[in-house]
Structure 1
Amino acid sequence: MSDTPHLSRRQLLRSAALVPVAGALAACATPAPQTPASTAPGAAKALEVWIFDGGFGHKYATDIHQPLFKTKYPDVAIKHNFTKEITKVLQPRFAGGNPPDVIDNSGANAMDFGALAQDGQLQDLTPLLDMESWDDPAVKVRDTLDPAVIEIGTYDGKFSVVGYVNYIYGIWYSMKAFKDNGWQPPKTWDDFIKLCETIKKSGKMAPFTYAGKHPGYALDPILVTAAKIGGKEILLNLDNLEDGAWKAEALKESATRWAEIGAKYLMEGTAGLDHVQTQTAQNKYQVAMLPSGSWLENEQRTTTPPGFDYAMFPVPDVTGSDKLPHGALHTQPGENFIVPAKAANAKGGMEYLRAMLSKKAAGEFSQLVSTVPTVKGAGEGMQLSTGVKSASDAYAAAGENTVYFRWNAWYLQLKDESAAATGELMSGRLTPDKFLERMQKKADEIKGDSSIKKFKR
């Protein structure tokens, strides 16, 4: 067995309480030989699939992807499973050397991609990119995908994570609520503050909320606002663990402004609520705005009243000298699928992904769960919901002015620290300076820990 103490630190710090055998992954994980590429699953082995049961549910797998797969491989039995607790349920399987064949490794409790990559637990999916696409043998899979899927899904030169959904982040609201009250989506920070004041004084609802139990929702607009002020390099430096990256003046400016939102305009009780509770409060017209991503509309499908009409706007302009123009936003592939290197049917797993990445499957997925997939042209000719249309329009308008960050997937200790620190900032228990000091200290700890593999972009 190889000795990889970094993983026992990383994984046990994160989930020892949930998964007592997590250390076995650190102690016993050795890189597995890569399975040769094939356009067929080989022997008619059963295919075990695990889906994160989050904002998109899991029915899309049983109702769209698996029936399509079975049209070519009717004799392959598919074992379908779903959970909200990916790490808790599946990390012991990796430790035991018997992971499933396909995993939607997503959600707040996703497994650590950086640790999995470091220990050779991810199948190299580069051969998948060079396969014939499911729809058209004249077109390779790689040519059907948004290029960001390949860029962001590559670890140490190997493409190993397939982001299936183009997550588009922003501030979400009800078109009905805004129209009925004569409110306009703000384009500048001054307009944003004026809108918050107007809503607060109206007494009809609170101006703003976020998932208090999951403060990463509030961190996203803080980081995007900082990038608007100081440029894309602000986020690049965070990813690359550059010295003093968290002390950038643009981050201080952004944290200060969002801390003001937390101090003056939050819905009462926000800190104790999770994402579903805050989103449901918005559906009940108890709060006007919240930060989220393009999965929101589908996640709230059962509680959204008729005519609510979701829409989103990008974070507002901050200063007259912002480095990024109005409309800049955070977007990157998410809902991340992997095939474990030690999967019993890795060939079948890649073939399952090939079916998923067909225009037919992605288009039907888009329509079913109201979101924007990463397969090119998947939504063409389909009637879009207001939320998907709003997000798609914002994405198109942003053009090259989009940003993303990867440190939260590479270093989960830093992600966990950021959630705790952001909650303290938004509740007024940390000043912006202390918030940034805390983040910089944790980033420095990770940078100085030679047992943790470092990634760069």
Structure 2
Amino acid sequence: MGTEQDDTTMPLTPLDRLAASRRRFLALAGAGAGASALAACAAGGGGKDSEGGGGVSEGGGEVSEDNPFGVDGSAPLEVVIFNGGFGDQYGKDAGKKYKEMYPEADVQVNSTVDIQPELQPRFVGGNPPDLFDNSGAQAMNSSALISEGQLSTLDALIEAPSLDGGTVGDSLLPGSLDPGTYSGKLYSLNYVYTVFALWYSAKQFNDMGWDAPVTWDDVMTIGEQAKSEGISLFAFGGQNAADYYHTLALGMAVKQGGIDVAKNLDKLDAGAYEQDAVVQAFDAIEDAVKADFFLSGGAGIKHTEAQAQWVTGKAVMYPSGSWIENEQKGVTPDDYEMTGCPDPQLGSDSSFPAEAIRGTAGEPFQVPADAANGAGGLEFLRIMLSKEQAQNFAELTSSLTIVKDSVPEDAFGSTALASVNSMIQDAGDNIYTWNFTDWYGLGPDFKPIWNEFLSGKIDAAEVRSRSQEVLDRVREDDGIEKFDVA
């Protein structure tokens, strides 16, 4: 099923990407961008030392309860926002608040979709922005930045007073700092709290008499009924996001086998993809492929095109993070009632209850070690982590931040956001995640594998074998820094 994949361009391995990143640093420095700048810390920056990026230095202003980082109120501030699925208005609004607090400061909140091409030369030249949103397809490799000492640690932010009282750390959802913590040190503040779920139209389900699926058997039953109506169960965008189903499979595997399944993946274990629960989950996806439950033609389209097929009625369900409603604005029918449900259970012996979800933080904000106003970068984050700004983000994007209790009960009229709130409340402490794909930048490695799988070209056993090869390459490469697993 689907179109032929272009096999002429092979994906870069993690080693290739890390080596290329370092080559660009060295080449640009050697070309005159300023090799000495790589070893020097700009005034008020992050305090980089011989062991890599340290904490952010005080900004030169008077330290107080209202100014915990000693921000110099007259110092300029530059923030770069990734202008992707969440847009950039929330960043501009936080910039206005910063300007209210420090009226003498020249506050520049810029946005781009090309983070690495635009910012990497600035890192090499020693003049990076004070804070940047390291996200999107062109994101910089965080592990490479950390190993090169190019990022400051952010622990001072978490210990600082919140604008709403208490500390910033007290105001955050449990586990929200984990994805940005590398071997015990916080280098990234992941601002957006994402719940990964199966998404559907509540209106369509009500019209068809379907209940939200709890088990994979429920999903397959819906697939058979949908197929009899001439509708596909799933759509997929093979050009750039077939690995959404990799995420679904791993979510079901962790739910079935327990958190050790996730830890073994994070540890890059030699048998990570042969764990019983992983085998079960991949076989389940294969059953759906063999049943012809995937909309044809997915191999040649982007995820946004696949999502448009889904919300316009050509497919019933779609696995994604809770950014999905905002990303599909303008395409989704007004009466669609987009709603999410947790990853399905694979069996009655599941380690996690049905209500358990994969929840984690994304959209990493980072302060460069050479930032001219690193203290201002921390202060900007402190502003973003206020309930006022968190609520503004939720209203603008129909997505949650990592700030607790920042969305009203009506969820601004968003059925998707309301369902996310409900899933979080129902899950309680039963929330799981993994980090290896983000830690080592492995998304590009899995996408072509899953494109072939969902197109029916390879079976589940080969997917697992090739996925394990990705982990093995990273584990055995001494040039890639490995991170501890708690």
Superposed counterparts of 1:182-261, under 5 Å: 182-203=209-230, 205-213=231-239, 214-261=241-288
Superposed counterparts of 1:333-412, under 5 Å: 333-380=361-408, 383-384=411-412, 385-412=414-441
Over residues 371-416 of structure 1, what are the superposed CA-to-partner deviations in whole Å (9 max), with x where a residue is unaligned?
Answer: 111111211466441001111111221222221111111112x332
Structure-1 residue corresponding to 2:107: 78
Over residues 15-69 of structure 1, what are the superposed CA-to-partner deviations in whole Å (9 max), with x where a residue is unaligned?
Answer: 95x998355489965535643245342262221111111111111112x211111
Q: Report the identity percentage.
A: 34
Whether the 8 Å contact between 2:232 and 2:315 is mirrored in structure 1 is: yes
Q: Note the residue ranges of structure 1 that are not aligned, 5 or more in a row.
A: 1-7
CA deviation after TM superposition for structure 1 residue 11, in Å = 7.3
Q: Of residues 28, 48, 56 in structure 2, which corresponds to 1:35?
A: 56
CA deviation after TM superposition for structure 1 residue 189, in Å = 1.7
CA deviation after TM superposition for structure 1 residue 254, in Å = 0.9
The 3-state SS of whatever aligns with 2:228 is helix
Please tell me whether residue 153 in structure 1 is matched to residue 180 in structure 2.
yes
CA deviation after TM superposition for structure 1 residue 145, in Å = 1.3
Separation in structure 1 between the aligned mates of residue 385 and residue 356 of structure 2, nearest angstrom: 28
Q: Which amino acid aligns with 1:81?
A: N
Structure-1 residue corresponding to 2:47: none
Q: Of residues 94, 116, 136 in structure 2, which corresponds to 1:65?
A: 94
Please tell me whether residue 21 in structure 1 is matched to residue 21 in structure 2.
no
The 3-state SS of whatever aligns with 1:307 is coil
Q: Of residues 154, 160, 164 in structure 2, which corresponds to 1:125?
A: 154
After TM superposition, the score normalised by the length of structure 2 is 0.86
- Note closer, same or farther for the CA distance 1:147–1:324 as it changes in structure 2 (3 Å cut): closer
- Note closer, same or farther for the CA distance 1:155–1:296 as it changes in structure 2 (3 Å cut): same
Q: Note the residue ranges of structure 2 that are not aligned, 5 or more in a row.
A: 1-11, 40-51, 59-67
Q: Of residues 72, 75, 83 in structure 2, which corresponds to 1:45?
A: 75
The 3-state SS of whatever aligns with 1:76 is coil
**RMSD of Structure 2 on Structure 1 (CA):** 2.3
Whether the 8 Å contact between 2:15 and 2:479 is mirrored in structure 1 is: no
Separation in structure 1 between the aligned mates of residue 269 and residue 18 of structure 2, nearest angstrom: 24
- Note closer, same or farther for the CA distance 1:26–1:160 as it changes in structure 2 (3 Å cut): farther
Separation in structure 2 between the aligned mates of residue 33 and residue 396 of structure 1, nearest angstrom: 37
The 3-state SS of whatever aligns with 1:149 is coil
Structure-1 residue corresponding to 2:334: 306
Please tell me whether residue 163 in structure 1 is matched to residue 166 in structure 2.
no
Separation in structure 1 between the aligned mates of residue 343 and residue 77 of structure 2, nearest angstrom: 43
Whether the 8 Å contact between 1:11 and 1:22 is mirrored in structure 2 is: no
- Note closer, same or farther for the CA distance 1:123–1:130 as it changes in structure 2 (3 Å cut): same
Q: Which amino acid aligns with 1:147?
A: P
Whether the 8 Å contact between 1:170 and 1:291 is mirrored in structure 2 is: yes
Structure-1 residue corresponding to 2:321: 293
Separation in structure 2 between the aligned mates of residue 399 and residue 32 of structure 1, nearest angstrom: 36
Separation in structure 1 between the aligned mates of residue 86 and residue 334 of structure 2, nearest angstrom: 20
Over residues 242-298 of structure 1, what are the superposed CA-to-partner deviations in whole Å (9 max), with x where a residue is unaligned?
Answer: 221122121111111112223411112111121211112222222211111111111
Give the paired residue count.
444
Whether the 8 Å contact between 2:197 and 2:342 is mirrored in structure 1 is: yes
Separation in structure 1 between the aligned mates of residue 179 and residue 29 of structure 2, nearest angstrom: 25
The 3-state SS of whatever aligns with 1:308 is coil
Separation in structure 2 between the aligned mates of residue 330 and residue 25 of structure 1, nearest angstrom: 40
Separation in structure 2 between the aligned mates of residue 173 and residue 417 of structure 1, nearest angstrom: 28
Please tell me whether residue 284 in structure 1 is matched to residue 312 in structure 2.
yes
CA deviation after TM superposition for structure 1 residue 9, in Å = 8.5
Whether the 8 Å contact between 1:25 and 1:94 is mirrored in structure 2 is: no
The 3-state SS of whatever aligns with 2:111 is strand
Structure-1 residue corresponding to 2:139: 110
Whether the 8 Å contact between 1:112 and 1:409 is mirrored in structure 2 is: no
After TM superposition, the score normalised by the length of structure 1 is 0.91
Separation in structure 1 between the aligned mates of residue 19 and residue 220 of structure 2, nearest angstrom: 39
Separation in structure 1 between the aligned mates of residue 300 and residue 81 of structure 2, nearest angstrom: 28
Separation in structure 1 between the aligned mates of residue 23 and residue 482 of structure 2, nearest angstrom: 26
Whether the 8 Å contact between 1:19 and 1:91 is mirrored in structure 2 is: no
Whether the 8 Å contact between 1:122 and 1:341 is mirrored in structure 2 is: yes
The 3-state SS of whatever aligns with 1:147 is coil
Separation in structure 2 between the aligned mates of residue 40 and residue 296 of structure 1, nearest angstrom: 39
Q: Which amino acid aligns with 1:269?
A: G
- Note closer, same or farther for the CA distance 1:343–1:11 as it changes in structure 2 (3 Å cut): farther
Separation in structure 1 between the aligned mates of residue 341 and residue 114 of structure 2, nearest angstrom: 31
Whether the 8 Å contact between 1:102 and 1:337 is mirrored in structure 2 is: yes
Whether the 8 Å contact between 2:449 and 2:463 is mirrored in structure 1 is: yes
CA deviation after TM superposition for structure 1 residue 14, in Å = 6.8
Please tell me whether residue 265 in structure 1 is matched to residue 293 in structure 2.
yes
